[in-house]
């Protein structure tokens, strides 16, 4: 009873009960332990455009870690100028997501990393074997794969990339510093915005470490229908055209359901939503309030919530550039015109 | 007379008289002195795809500094999947070149950097002003430009990029170590290849610090006609189709003349020639011997020269990744579908 009372007191006094500072460690699967050699290999692979058929697109092309982990485009551009249908989610802090892709079609970072190389409108490699053959031809890769995993395989490529991605954690956002006790880390406006974020109802879905829902087991998606309430913004931004998770499950209950996206670094990962149709964070807040909560926010409410969301922009740790392993005397993509 | 005799003695005893180890410093124009702040800004600009109309192509897309400073493609891919007509030269050691682009149409690195952003098939920006407007909208860029140069201008953008490029020097190649006294740095095969390289006549053009010709004043191109001697390889690889420097000067004497390209890191910058049509270094050596020197080399001669050329692959210094300055709450390229 005493514990219960304490909880009530905290709930009443702290508007951020459901919100958490970023933790020190990341969830790591037991079959893919971290090592510095594996992370370094994964970084090379992440930045290597030779994972695409014509040598022009790397993981980093759409998930730019030197920026905010995305390409800041509505949808991404793959090989031969082809455009995808959905906005590239940021790779930063993706280690905290319990399911991957907008529609949750991959359970883990490892599973996710196996998608884009073979997607014809992304990196366009014809088969897993074609990727393995190419990597095996590069002595520097072959040597690293053999030392770390024993062999070059497509699954091992994905494991290395996932290990690197687990190092991509932004730290010390004003919000994190505030939650750890530095009450001056957030502006008064941002603190007001945090309260509104909870009062209005945003945090009923956008909670937890990554503002992407509760701490579920890896592979367990936290999905929500979007949009829920009809309003003119939905047609304006074509937000209901893509059926979302239904395209994976073909279950009618999944029509227009999506993984709840993270709000960390949301201010620097415009444009917004699965189709990237909304370019302004303020407008994105208005869309969410109208479509999910059936509320029309005042300009002040939007401004304050935006100030709070801006406080979720963390520090992006300095990294060294990878050195992509060379092959000597010819080019793997040189014969492709 | 004594001095003359000495020169003769050196010429007779050293097969590498016309070849030089890489020096410690790079030529720097008096109106663009180096500073660490300028280099850091230039690095950000070099890696920033927002210098292209749709946010997909950065300088680094085609001149990949994490690889060998090129894209290892025959010709590069710009915005909207458009393909250029010439092979991207490596940015590494470009500071030592006395003229820029295959046809020498830019005198300096500063002049070169102003080309690709406005080229419709490369980065596709509509005007210098459009680039300046975009950079000025990004607070982190505006602040750096104002601190370093006083203002955001297109010329200052080029100066910052050029300053960064002057830091991209590969060091300690086996050849450089050999020339500095480590006689075990090159294999016997590579040493034999070096001798052949001079005996066959390659070094009559490929000499100097960068194996790209004599140390001329900046802006003074060392141009040569290519191909000179007719042979079946020219038609096979379409090596005479592009008129080269003639397209710049419209002077018939310049038909099929080209800047002599650097051979540093040539083994890791395949494919070869202005059109990137030859994917093998050995074949490139055969093409050069036939087309420029009217010689047909034996397999052994080719192998030895290739071994020498492989000894020109230097160490690529470790760099930190730049952090691309964010804008908060919207995307500069987010509105572009």
- Write out the DSSP string of B196-207: HHHHHTGGGTS-
CB B170 within 8 A of CB B263: no
CATH class of B172-310: mainly alpha
Residue A16 near residue A177, CB atoms below 8 Å: no
CA distance A95 to A108: 9
What own/partner pairs with CB < 8 Å and gap ≥ 24 does B133-142 have? B134/B50, B134/B51, B134/B332, B137/B327, B137/B332, B138/B50, B138/B325, B138/B326, B138/B327, B138/B332, B139/B325, B139/B327, B140/B325, B140/B326, B141/B41, B141/B44, B141/B45, B141/B325
User: What DSSP string describes A109-155?
Assistant: HHHHHTSGGG-TTTT--S-HHHHHHHHHHSHHHHHHHHHHTSS--HH
- Confidence class for position A20, pLDDT limits 50, 70, 90: confident
Spatial neighbors of A153 by CB under 8 A, at least 6 apart, are A132, A145
pLDDT of residue A334 exceeding 80, the answer is no
Q: Which two tokens stand for residue B240?
A: 């005479």
Task: Please tell me which residue in B40, B110, B122, B165 is annotated as part of the active site.
Answer: B122
d(CA B308, CA B16): 12
Domain A36-165 CATH superfamily? Cytochrome c-like domain (1.10.760.10)
Asked if the Cβ–Cβ distance from A271 to B330 is below 8 Å, we say yes
User: What is the 3-class SS of A16-37, one letter each residue?
Assistant: CCCECCCCCCCCCCCCCCCCHH
Question: pLDDT (tens digit, 9 = 90+) per residue, A154-194?
Answer: 999 999 999 999 999 999 999 999 999 999 999 999 999 99
CATH superfamily membership of A14-22+174-310: Cytochrome c-like domain (1.10.760.10)
How much is the mean pLDDT over chain B? 93
- For the record, the structure tokens of A298 come out as 């005042």
Q: What is the pLDDT of residues B179-226, one digit of tens each?
A: 999 999 999 999 999 999 999 999 999 999 999 999 899 899 999 999
Q: Which of A66, A270, A334 sits opposite B74 (nearest CB)?
A: A334
Provide the pLDDT confidence category of residue A6 given band limits of 50, 70 and 90.
very low
> Catalytic residue among A110, A122, A283, A304, which?
A122
Residue boundaries of the structural domains of chain A: 14-22+174-310, 36-165
Q: How confident is the model at residue A336 (pLDDT cuts 50, 70, 90)?
A: low
Whole-angstrom Cα distance, residue A328 to residue A138? 9
Q: What is the pLDDT of residues A284-293, one digit of tens each?
A: 999 999 999 9
Whether chain A has a CB inside 8 Å of the CB on B35: the answer is: no
**Candidates A64, A73, A318; nearest CB to B320:** A318
pLDDT of residue B4: 35
pLDDT band at B25 (very low <50, low <70, confident <90, very high): confident
pLDDT of residue A19: 80
Q: Within an 8 Å CB–CB cutoff, is residue B298 touching chain A?
A: no
Does pLDDT of B129 surpass 70?
Answer: yes
Residue pair A54/B69 in contact (Cβ under 8 Å)? The answer is no
Helix (H, G, I), strand (E, B) or coil at B233: helix
Q: Is B244 exposed, middle or buried (0-12, 13-18, 19+ CB in 10 A)?
A: buried
Count Cα atoms within 13 angstroms, Cβ side, for B264: 32
Q: Which residues in chain B are closer than 8 Å to A65, comparing Cβ atoms?
A: 321
Stronger pLDDT, A22 or A204, i.e. the higher one: A204
Check whether A10 has a pLDDT greater than 70.
no
A330 DSSP 8-state letter: S
Question: Considering chain B, what percentage of its residues have pLDDT values greater than 90?
Answer: 89
How wide is the angle at C-alpha A307 spanned by C-alphas A206 and A223, nearest 5°? 15
Record the tokens describing residue A11, joined without a space: 């709930």
Could you say which of A55, A61, A82 has the minimum Cβ distance to residue B71? A55
> Same CATH topology for A14-22+174-310 and A36-165?
yes
Residues in chain B with CB shorter than 8 Å from the CB of A271 are: 330-331, 334-335
Better-predicted residue by pLDDT, A219 or B19: A219
- Judge contact between A116 and A61, C-beta under 8 A: no
Mean per-residue pLDDT over chain A, rounded: 93
Q: Which helix (H) or strand (E) holds A224?
A: strand A223-225
Q: For residue B277, is pLDDT > 90?
A: yes
Q: So what's the pLDDT on residue B336?
A: 55
């Amino acid at each position: 009873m005493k514990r219960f009372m304490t909880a009530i007191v905290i709930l009443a006094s702290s508007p951020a009960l459901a919100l958490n500072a970023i933790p020190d460690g990341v969830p790591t699967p037991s079959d893919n332990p971290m090592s510095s050699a594996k992370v370094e290999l994964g970084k090379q692979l992440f930045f290597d455009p030779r994972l695409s058929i014509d040598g022009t697109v790397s993981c980093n092309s759409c998930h730019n870690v030197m920026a905010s982990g995305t390409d800041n485009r509505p949808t991404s551009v793959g090989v031969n100028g082809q455009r995808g249908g959905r906005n590239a989610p940021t790779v930063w802090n993706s280690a905290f997501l319990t399911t991957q892709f907008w529609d949750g079609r991959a359970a883990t970072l490892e599973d996710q990393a196996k998608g884009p190389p073979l997607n014809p409108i992304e990196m366009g490699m014809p088969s897993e074997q074609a990727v393995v053959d190419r990597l095996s031809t590069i002595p520097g890769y072959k040597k690293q794969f053999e030392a770390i995993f024993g062999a070059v395989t497509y699954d091992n490529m994905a494991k290395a990339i996932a290990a690197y991605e687990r190092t991509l954690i932004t730290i010390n956002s004003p919000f994190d510093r505030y939650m750890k006790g530095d009450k001056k880390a957030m502006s008064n406006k941002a603190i007001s915005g945090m309260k509104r974020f909870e009062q209005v109802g945003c945090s009923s879905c956008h909670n937890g470490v990554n503002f992407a829902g509760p701490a579920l087991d890896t592979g367990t998606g936290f999905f929500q229908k979007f949009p829920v309430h009809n309003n003119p913004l939905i047609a304006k931004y074509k937000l209901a055209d893509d059926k979302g998770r239904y395209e994976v499950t073909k279950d009618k209950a999944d029509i227009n359901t999506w993984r709840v996206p993270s709000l960390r670094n949301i201010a620097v990962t415009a444009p917004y939503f699965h189709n990237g149709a909304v370019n302004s964070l303020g407008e994105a807040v208005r869309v969410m309030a109208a479509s999910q909560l059936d509320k029309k926010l005042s300009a002040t409410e939007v401004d304050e919530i935006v100030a709070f969301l801006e406080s979720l922009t963390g520090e992006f740790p300095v990294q060294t550039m990878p050195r992509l392993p060379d092959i000597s005397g010819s080019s793997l993509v040189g014969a492709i015109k």
